[in-house]
Amino acid sequence: MNTTVLVLLFGITRDLTGQSAVSVPLSEGMRVGDLLTHLHLQYPELAGIRSLLVAVNGEYAERDQALGSNDEIALIPPVSGG
């Protein structure tokens, strides 16, 4: 079964990829850390972002959280302000 998940991109992550969302193949047992590794291989510039957070279904996720085909995933870059 070939399943993909849509990853929403915001701020600098959108700027670096040139897209507001990317589709990532979802393998059985895939976790947030696996997703980040896949994205870093596809978009090496993302690996340079410190404090990049991942939200799954509107909640911040740890690297070991499992992913499912119906999950809404977003990359949340650090926000600066003054």
* Sign, CA torsion 18/69/74/39: negative
pLDDT at res. 74: 97
Q: Is there a domain that residue 9 lies in?
A: yes
What pLDDT was estimated at residue 32? 97
pLDDT at 2 > cutoff 90: no
Q: Is residue 82 part of a domain?
A: no
Domain count for the chain, please give it. Answer: 1
- 81 in any annotated domain: no
24 within some domain: yes
Residue 52 falls inside a structural domain: yes
pLDDT in tens, 27-80: 999 999 999 999 999 999 999 998 899 999 999 999 999 999 899 999 999 876
Report the CATH number that the domain containing residue 45 is assigned in CATH. 3.10.20.30
pTM attached to this predicted model: 0.89
Confirm whether 38 is domain-assigned: yes
Q: Which domain holds residue 29?
A: 3-76
